[in-house]
Each structure stands twice: as C-alpha cells, then as structure tokens.
Amino acid sequence: MLNRVSEQTMHRVRWILAIGWFTLIFLLFYDPWSEWFTLPGNVFSILSLDPTLDPNVCVQRQGECMVEQPYAIGPRFFWAAVVPSAIIILLVFGHECWRRICPLGFISQLPRALGWQRHRLKINKATGLTRKELVKVGKDSWLGKNYLWLQFGFFYLGLCIRLLFVNSDSIALGIFLLLTIASALTVGYLFSGKSWCQYFCPMAPVQKIYSEPRALFNSTAHTGEKRKITQSMCREVGQDGKEKAACVACQAPCVDIR
C-alpha cells in the first residue's frame, strides 16, 4: 500500500520521527513541564492524580512506602504510546511501511549517508590488484545463519532491562535509548546495507509475529503490477529525480520483499 509513496516523502517522515525521538530523549533528562498533567485535581488532564486519596495511605513496595506524587510522563508516553504505535503499524501496514519509517533504522544509515563505513581490502587473484569494498554480512557466516536467535536474545534482554531498571525511571530510559542508538550507529559503520534491521534489531521478532505472512494493508510483490522497486526495498533518488534501487548485500529470500 505505502510502497508507492515516494522516497522523498518517506525521507521527510523519517526525519520528523527521528527528531521527535531525540526530543523525547531530551525530555527524559530534562522535563520540568509534563508534571503539570499529573497534578492532583487537574481537570484538563486525564492523567491527573486523584485528589481524594489519603496521603497517609501508601502502596508498599519491597518494604518502602510509595506515596503518589506528580511525575514526568516521558516514560509512560514512550511505553504506552510510542511502542504500541509501532506494533499497530506492523499489524496494519506491515513491514513495508515500518522498515521505511523506522527512526532507528534511519539512524543506522547515517554512516552510509556520511561516507563513514568500514572497508576491507580485497585482492583480485587473477591480477593481484587490490581494491576497497564495504564489509557485508556473509550469508554463510555465523551471523548470517543465526541472526534471528541473536535478535530474539536482544529482545529478551531488552524486556528484562525494562522490567528491572528502566520502566519508570526517566534517566535510565534515556540512557538505554541512547545506548540503543549508539549500537545502531556502530552496526551501520561496521556493515553495509540494512545490517542493523536485518541482523541485530530486537524489533525483528515482533515484526515477524505481527506482519507475517501479511499485514492488513500490505501490498503483494508477486502479484499485480510488476515493479522493479517494491515494498521496503532500499531506494534512493538519482540525479534525474527518479528512484532507483540501492540494495547491497542482497539475500534470498529478501526480508524486504514478501
């Protein structure tokens, strides 16, 4: 469905989402405003605390009294709005939409856009000449064969970190998100293509569950009009203003075409 949307439009969407994500992270570290939404008796907010609660009555947690008080809503907004929105997008519009707008996938491509990617020397056995080439994940490598297990492991680790450390702690959540961004940038530097999305992203197991075999409004690459660039294939705009495929390290079957 959304595979026909131009790359220029989707590029703007990715920038907007990435800026919004960085804004949220900034607010996790410094947010003197959102407590207003939770002030007791705030009739303009559905998040306000109940002013009729007895302040002398508290909830016991590990032997400590937890008294209700106004709080910054950054973590709650992330876990209750941002994460569910991603799942809804996968369920309704499928991988072809999510993989084109994912801000983390977009950030992982910044090293490629800036020309800061790892290269290795390859020797031509026939001529003895050497040339530089981008490092790709080999199909027969350990990572190429076991990436789904690795992604599921990262997903499980992320769930444990959320429950134990970052669920309601703004600073911890901000650090966690910054480390995730740093990981995506590192992978984008070390390997070419959509290596973060394909081999490392913890969201991939969730994507497989909610968007396979097909989302509600997912297009079909194997029926109807045949297109050279379809679904969530990597693409770029050439000097002539036309879109062209920008795939590297292609795998069969391709996760971007279903």
pLDDT of 85-108, one tens digit each? 999 998 888 888 888 899 999 999
Residue 176's contacts (CB-CB under 8 Å, 6 or more residues apart) are 161, 165, 166
pLDDT band at 84 (very low <50, low <70, confident <90, very high): very high
Return d(Cα 19, Cα 27) in angstroms, integer: 12
Least confident of 14-28, 77-91, 135-149: 135-149
pLDDT in tens, 157-200: 999 999 999 998 999 999 999 999 999 999 999 998 888 988 99
**To which H or E segment does residue 132 belong?**
strand 130-134
Integer CA distances (angstroms), 238 to 11, 49, 54, 235, in order: 14, 54, 65, 10
**Local structure of 53: helix, strand or coil:** coil
Q: Which residue has the tokens 């799942």?
A: 87
pLDDT reading at 83 higher than 70: yes
Return d(Cα 49, Cα 104) in angstroms, integer: 34
Return d(Cα 243, Cα 123) in angstroms, integer: 33
Return d(Cα 197, Cα 32) in angstroms, integer: 35
Q: What is the pTM of this model?
A: 0.87
**Local structure of 228: helix, strand or coil:** coil
